[in-house]
Amino acid sequence: MRQDRIADTLLRKAIYQLKGFNEVAEMLLGTRFAEYVSERAKRKEGLSLRLEEKEGERVRIHRSYPDEHMIAEFAPTFRIFWLSKDEISFRHLERLYRELPISDDLRIRFHEAKNEFIKFMGSSAHIDDELGEVNRKELCEIYLYGGRIHLDRDKRNRLKKWMSDPVMLSLVEYWLTDTFVKAFAVIRVCTDINRKTLEELEKADGREEMRDGRIDEEIA
C-alpha cells in the first residue's frame, strides 16, 4: 500500500460529509421556494414587501416573496447547515477541512465562507418585539421550534403572537425569506469548494470514485 495513501477512515468521512452537504444543497434547489426565487431572478424581479398605510384603514400588505407553504417546505432542511450536531453542518465540515491533506487555498476558502455564513446568521433579522430584537439564526429557531418541527413553549408563544398580527407575520415571512436566500448563496459557494476538494483528494489518493455516486453508495 502506498505510504501517501490517505487513511481510509478519513477518506470515507470526507466523501460522506462533503457529498452529503452538496446533496442537501441540491435538495433545496429543487424546492418550490427555490424555484419561485429563481423565476423572479430570471425576470429581474426582486423579492419585496410594501406596507401601505392610510388613515382610518387597515394596513395593506403588498408582498412579492414565497408563500407560507414554500417557506415551511424549505426551512426544516435549511436548518441542517447550522445545527452543530449534524455531521454536514458548517461546524463539522470545518473540523474536517482542518484534518484533510488538501491545499491551503481550499481550506482558507471554506473557512472564510463558513465565517461569512455565521456572521450573517448572527446579524439583525429586523424583527423586534417586547422581548427584544432577534438575529437571523434566532428568527429561524423561533419559526422552526415554535411548532414547525419541534415545540418549545417559549418560542411557540412568541411565534403565536407574531402570527396573530398580519403585519408582523408578513415581516417575519419576508425576513425569513431574505435570510434563506442570502445564506443559501454562501452555501452554494461551499458546494463548489467541496467539489474541488473531492477532486484534489482523488488525485492525491489515486481513486476515481469520489465525485460521482451518492453518499449511500460510498458508505455501504
- The residue-averaged pLDDT of 41-47 equals 91
- Amino acid, single-letter form, for residue 207: R
pLDDT digits (tens, 9 = 90+) for 101-145: 899 999 999 999 999 999 999 999 999 989 899 999 999 999 998
Count other C-beta atoms under 10 Å from residue 74's C-beta: 24
- The residue-averaged pLDDT of 78-96 equals 88
- Across 41-45, 49-53, 194-198, 214-218, least confident range: 214-218
Half-sphere exposure at residue 109, Cβ-oriented, CA atoms within 13 angstroms: 17
Predicted pLDDT of residue 142: 93
- The residue-averaged pLDDT of 71-86 equals 88
pLDDT higher than threshold 90 for residue 2 = no
Contact of 173 with 48, CB cutoff 8 Å: no
pLDDT higher than threshold 70 for residue 58 = yes
Q: What is the pTM of this model?
A: 0.84
Distance (Å) of CA 198 to CA 101, 115, 164, 201: 11, 21, 48, 5
pLDDT higher than threshold 80 for residue 217 = no
Question: Looking up cell 449534524, which residue turns up?
Answer: 86
Predicted pLDDT of residue 203: 81
| 75 confidence band (pLDDT: 50, 70, 90) | very high
Contact of 64 with 40, CB cutoff 8 Å: yes
